[in-house]
Structures are given as structure tokens and as C-alpha cells.
Chains A and B, each alone.
Chain A
Amino acid sequence: MVSAKKIALGVVLFIIAIWLYSGVYIVHPNEEGVIRRWGRYYTSKGPGIHYHIPWPVERVDKPPIAKIQKMEIGFRTIRAGPPALYQPHEEEALMLTGDINIVDLWFIVHYRIKDAKAYLFNVRNIKKIIKDAAEAAMRQIIGDRGVDEALTIGKEEIQEAAQKRLQEILDLYESGIHVVTVKLQDVHAPGEVKEAFEGVASAREARERLINEALGKYNTEIPRARGEAERTIREAEAYAVQRVKHSQGEAKRFLDRLRAYRKAKTITKDRLYLETMREILPDIEKVIMAEPREGILKFLNLRGKGLEGSLRGGE
């Protein structure tokens, strides 16, 4: 009997000890300890080891207030990689733009808890609420923008506007969530029209290429032509110098010869004539006649060989 009572007492004490011990809790550096006593908010504790009155009197929740949480919309990361593997979620990703085009848009939301009490007490199923709000916000922003803005020129602005819009919605819900960032990931034209959009990019490249080719040709031809023009002018100048110098030289020579000629006119003239003849005549076939008459010339075989050839041919 005694031993049974002792055992019972022991068991009770043990249970009480465990119960008391269950009030010990650790708040990690990125968390906040929120204590409720009888269901009502009582106090908050920073990081460290703390104690609360055990259940059912007090309970503690430790939301990770410093942790930045990530949400993917339009896709899910299956493997962070590399190489990364993503699974598209078209129903989230396809959006109607303000100019009634359709884009396939992936984006992420980074958020953290800015008010632990609000986060814990104001909103049920917070992840779904954030996700729905993010989709609604992004679609509203995209619905006011053109397809080009979503695909290229307006990305920054869209991110900012969507972040602002999402924060407004989450504040309206008093969710205690701070939107750290909204970032567009892969934004492209939907499958069927992707090719046409890529075609634009390659057409733009083709345009650049054509222009560059033409400019390249321009930039080689023009300097070359300038060089050639320069050469033409230099050649003309060379000709000019040569021409003038030659004329001066020849004039000088003539004048010298004239001076000599004037000293003995006939002799010089004859000498010059004979000198020339001596140079020319050895190579020339000559017919010397005492009294050349017009009639005789006609009978001379002046193209001797040619005529012989033709006679022989006539045989």
C-alpha cells in the first residue's frame, strides 16, 4: 500500500516535473516569442532561453520575424541546380495586358513579418492570402501595361508598382507582412507566339547587321578613294615638275646648240643632217634613183615581198 502510494506520488511528481519543464522555450535569433496567457496576448520575448507557465495557461508562438521568405508565382523550382529545373504553372503565369496581348510571366515575392502579433492573430492561412494578393496585384499592374513594357522596357517600373500594390493590399488585410521585393523572373510571349517575338529580335539584329555592313564598306572605300585621289594629285604634280624641268632642259639644250650653230651655220646643219642619216640609213632599204619620175614609181615593187607572196599564191 505504502509503496503503491509512493509510486503514485512519484508518478504525479514526475508528471508535474515534465509539465513544469514544458514551459522552457528558446527563441532563436531570427524569431520573436509571442506569449498568450489564457488565449490573450501577454508579452513578447526576444532571442534567448525563456520560461512560460505551461499549458493550458500560457502558450508561445515563435514566428521567424527576421527571415526573408520567398514565394514563386508562375513556376516552382524543382531543383535549384545548377542546372536549375523549373516547373511552369501556366494558370498562374498567363496574364492579359492592357493592349489585349497575353504574356507568360514568372515572378517572385520576398516578404518578411513586420508585425508578429498581426501575423499571428489577424489572418488565417497567410501563405495563400499573400499568394492570391500577389497574383491579383501583378495582374492588375500588367493589365495597365502594354506587352512591350512587360517583356522589355517596363520591367523595373512593373516590379515597383506591383510591390507597392501588394503592400497596400496586405496592409488592408492587416496581415503584418512587409513585402521586401517583387522581382520579375522569366517574362516571355506565350508558346504559340514566342517565335514571332523572337523573330522581331533577330530582325532587329539583321537591321543592325545590314547597317554595319554598309558602314564597314563605307569606312573602307572612302579612305581608299581619298588615298587614290591623293596619289592622282601627286602623280600630276610629279608630271608637272618633270614637264617643266624637261622643257627647261630642252630649251637650254636648244639654246646651246643654237649658239653653236650660229657660229658656223651651214657646217653645223650639214653635220647634224649627216649624223642623223648615218644613224637611220643602215637599217633602211633604199632605192636610189638618179631622176625619180612619178610614172616610174608606179612600176616599182615598193611592197616587194608582199607582192611576191601574192604571185606565188596565184600559181
Chain B
Amino acid sequence: MTTRPSGAAITEIIIVILGLLTLNSALFTVNETNQVVVTQLGKPIEVLKKPGLYIKIPFIQTANKFEDRLLEYEAAPRRCVTKDKKYIFLNNYARWRIVDPLLFMKTVRNESGAHSRLDDVVYAAIREEVGKYNLIDTVRSSDRKILSAEITPEEEEIKREIEKIEVGREKIMKVVTEKSDQMMRQYGIKVIDVRIKRADLPKANTEAVFGRMKAERNRISNRYLSEGEGEKAKILGEMDKELAQIRSEAYRKAQEIKGKADAEATKIYAQAYEQDPDFFNFLKTLETYRETLPKKTLIVVPLDSKFFKYLAPEAPPEKASSKKP
């Protein structure tokens, strides 16, 4: 601050600044991610898509930059009606590019203008296409067989005839993409892809689905329980049968063995006793006395019994053999 710039210096600085401003206005770049429309006093002159350094007439011409990348668009969830008169809330997105920046600039000017057009066009296309088919077409993309862990094939057959799709979500969205693309070309926009991000049933239907899911699961649970009981009864029944078999078989064998032994013994006894049946009877009788007469038995013994033969010697001898006790 000790010196003040002279007039010449100020002029120099002004010239430099003006020069820089002019340069800045004359030179511009087109980036890899951009495309540029050069306008002269608002009138489009040139479209530049190739990236690099360009020169324009300063202050008179303007470089209007537009995105050259894939752009996002997402619609708020909206209700659609299917052919089978069911409601579904669809939340879809679209991916798009500006392919004709000049047309884009003329018709929608900027991205928010493009969004409002997309809102109309994409929703209309979706509503139309979804409405052509049943709900299942919006949910599924193919007739792929649905596998199930819990439900036996027979039961599944009865449970629900799984609806066949006519075209499926993939194809519906392809048509929506094509239609939207056609409609958006007039704005210099190419629609690359429209896709359903989320599909939800209305609240009331969701409740119904939950109810059905619960009922299905409870039925499966009950089936498992009764299967368990049944299986248990089967095993125990089998067990009882086998037990009876084992026991009766053992009894049969035991009886057979005993019977054989008895027969054998009988044979042996018979062979021995045959030799003198009278003596056998005598011995057996004595044995029987010993075993069958308990203590304190009162018996009446005639005096002429064999036992008292010597107590009463006059007893008639012919009676001695007739009675023993």
C-alpha cells in the first residue's frame, strides 16, 4: 500500500481482465458427460456432442449444456387397475437420455420439464398396459413352476389353480418402455428402460393376503401334528404286533419243548413202571399218603388193618388185605 498503481498500470490490468473475460466467453469445453447447444441471441446455431475445446463468438453466442448421461426418473406409487378388476400400487422408475438436445431445449427446456412429461407419458403407458392383463401378469414374469417346501403336490393341486400369465411383467414393461420411448422422442428424449420397482397390494388386500397366509400355515402345522400322531400310532401298532409275535412264538416254542420233554419222561416212566404195575401202585400210594395227609388229620383205623395186625392177632386174616387205612 506504499505505492499507488499508475494510470498505465490500471489500463494494463483492465486490458488483461477484459482479455480474460473475452477468452472465457470464447472458449468452452464439451465434457464427456455433456452435450452443448450453441445459440446466438437465443437462436440455436449448432449442436456439439463430441467432447473437447471449442471456440464461439464471445458474448453473442451462448453454450447451453445438457446432460449426456443416463438419467433417473422415479414416479410416486400410483394405483393401477388390472383386467380382473384388482388394484395394485406400482412404483416405477424410468431411465432416459437426452438424445436430441436441440429438440429437448425447444420443447421441455430442462430436466424438470422432462420429468413432468415423463410423469404423464409413463403413467399413461403403464396404466394402459397393466389394465390389459390380470393381476398375475403384473406380478409374474413367466409360468415358471413355483416350488413349495411344505405342501404336498396333491394338496397344491387342490389348493389353487395357479393362474397362467398371458405375457408377464417383463413383457409388459418392455411394451411400456417402447411406448414411452415413442412418445418421448418428440422431446428429444430416448427412454431406455421403464421398470416396476415396487408393486404393492392395497391395504385391504394385503390384510386378506396375510389372513390367507396365516390360514395356510396353520393348516400345514396341523397336518404336521396329525402326521406325527399318525406316524407314532403306526410305529406303536407295529411294535404291539411284533411284541405279540415274539411272545407267542416264544410261548409256542416253550410249550413244544416242554411237551416233548413230558412225552419223553412219560415214556421213560412207562418203560420202568410197566415192569411191575402193582408194585408201582403200592409205592405211589405210600408216597401219596406221605404227601397228602397233613398233621392232625383224624383218621379212623380199623383194628384189623395191616398196621394193627399184631395189636389184635385174632383179627381175621382175610380182611387184612382188603383195607389198608
A94's partner among B139, B193, B200 (CB-CB below 8 A) is B200
Contacts of A18 in B (CB 8 A): none
Asked if B272 contacts A255 (CB within 8 A), the reply is: yes
Instruction: Report the bound CA distance from A189 to B290 in whole Å.
Output: 88
Stretch at the interface among B38-46, B119-127, B276-284: B276-284
Q: Is B308 an interface residue (CB 8 A)?
A: yes
Instruction: Report the bound CA distance from A98 to B201 in whole Å.
Output: 13
Q: Is B221 an interface residue (CB 8 A)?
A: yes
Asked if B141 contacts A140 (CB within 8 A), the reply is: yes
Q: Is A286 an interface residue (CB 8 A)?
A: yes
Contacts of A148 in B (CB 8 A): 147-151
Asked if B286 contacts A272 (CB within 8 A), the reply is: yes
Contacts of B210 in A (CB 8 A): 102, 190, 192-193
Asked if B201 contacts A96 (CB within 8 A), the reply is: yes
Contacts of B227 in A (CB 8 A): 207
Instruction: Report the bound CA distance from A230 to B2 in whole Å.
Output: 127
Q: Is B51 an interface residue (CB 8 A)?
A: yes
Nearest A-chain residue to B251, judged by Cβ: A232
Nearest A-chain residue to B324, judged by Cβ: A273
Interface residues on B, range: 35 or more
Q: Shortest distance in angstroms between A75's beta carbon and chain B's nearest beta carbon? A: 16
Contacts of B256 in A (CB 8 A): 236
Asked if A244 contacts B141 (CB within 8 A), the reply is: no
Q: Shortest distance in angstroms between B191's beta carbon and chain A's nearest beta carbon? A: 12
Instruction: Report the bound CA distance from A236 to B232 in whole Å.
Output: 35
B307's partner among A96, A99, A214, A277 (CB-CB below 8 A) is A277
Nearest A-chain residue to B240, judged by Cβ: A221
Q: Given A40-B52, A129-B70, check contact A146 B148 (CB 8 Å).
A: yes
Q: Is B300 an interface residue (CB 8 A)?
A: yes
Instruction: Report the bound CA distance from A98 to B147 in whole Å.
Output: 10
Contacts of A185 in B (CB 8 A): none
A124's partner among B69, B199, B273, B275 (CB-CB below 8 A) is B69
Q: Which of B224, B289, B304 has the most CB of A within 10 A?
A: B224
Q: Is B103 an interface residue (CB 8 A)?
A: no
Asked if A143 contacts B213 (CB within 8 A), the reply is: no
Q: Is A9 an interface residue (CB 8 A)?
A: no
A244's partner among B52, B198, B268 (CB-CB below 8 A) is B268
Q: Shortest distance in angstroms between B214's beta carbon and chain A's nearest beta carbon? A: 4
Asked if B220 contacts A200 (CB within 8 A), the reply is: yes
B-facing mask of A213-228, CB < 8 A → 1, else 0? Answer: 1110110011001101
Nearest A-chain residue to B325, judged by Cβ: A277
A251's partner among B272, B290, B299, B300 (CB-CB below 8 A) is B272
Asked if B147 contacts A258 (CB within 8 A), the reply is: no
Q: Is A235 an interface residue (CB 8 A)?
A: yes
B214's partner among A193, A233, A277, A284 (CB-CB below 8 A) is A193
Q: Is A300 an interface residue (CB 8 A)?
A: yes
Nearest B-chain residue to A249, judged by Cβ: B268
Contacts of A122 in B (CB 8 A): 69-70
Contact sample, A vs B, 10 pairs, CB 8 Å cutoff: A96-B200, A135-B198, A144-B142, A149-B147, A175-B70, A214-B236, A225-B242, A226-B246, A236-B255, A251-B271
